[in-house]
Amino acid sequence: MSPFERPILIYDDKCSSCTRFANYVRALSRGLIYCIGHNSVQGRDLKNKIFQPDYDSSMMFWLIDTKGAHGGHFGLIPVVVHISRGIIRNRREKSFEIEPSVCFIGNSCRGKKNTIKRIWHLIRYGQNLPFGNFYKNY
């Protein structure tokens, strides 16, 4: 499968809040959005193919679609758009399989204080990287 046949969400799979977020995105999009952890083999391979070697892509979640990579708060609107498409597509066409998530949930971000920190980080940081400006192998 080509990595861009459907949108891909790359998230922090060592964070319980981020893993929950990815599971909600996957379920709400009815499997349209494929979720991959930053620390998984697939996630590392995909990031190595897309981002420059000196770029730290693990500081936020990324939604990668045909237009580019949308990180942090810039990724929220595309996520909502793709969730809507997944709901509509599932009603009309064959639905996608929902792959089980592999997560390495740690205790590092459990609790209200750390969840609030994650939300603040999401609001504060974001980046849009159109394919013409950043990709190297696609």
pLDDT digits (tens, 9 = 90+) for 76-104: 899 999 999 988 876 655 545 545 444 44
DSSP H or E stretch at residue 97: none
Q: Does residue 56 lie within any of the structural domains?
A: yes
**Distance between CA 68 and CA 99 in Å, rounded?**
23
- Which domain range does residue 114 map to? 8-134
Task: List the structure tokens of 104.
Answer: 């390495």
Q: Does residue 1 lie within any of the structural domains?
A: no
Torsion of CA 53, 58, 61, 65, to 10 degrees: 20
Q: Does residue 35 lie within any of the structural domains?
A: yes
Residue 69, CA distances (Å) to 37, 41, 89, 107 in order? 15, 19, 22, 28
Q: Does residue 85 lie within any of the structural domains?
A: yes
pTM for the full predicted model: 0.74
> pLDDT tens, 1-58?
344 678 999 998 888 888 888 888 998 898 889 999 988 998 888 888 888 888 777 7
Q: For tokens 């592999």, what's the residue?
A: 102
**Distance between CA 79 and CA 126 in Å, rounded?**
14
Q: Does residue 59 lie within any of the structural domains?
A: yes
Q: Does residue 3 lie within any of the structural domains?
A: no
Total domains in the chain come to 1
Q: Does residue 67 lie within any of the structural domains?
A: yes
Q: What's residue 83's pLDDT?
A: 92
Q: Does residue 100 lie within any of the structural domains?
A: yes
- Are 126 and 71 in contact by the 8 Å Cβ rule? The answer is yes
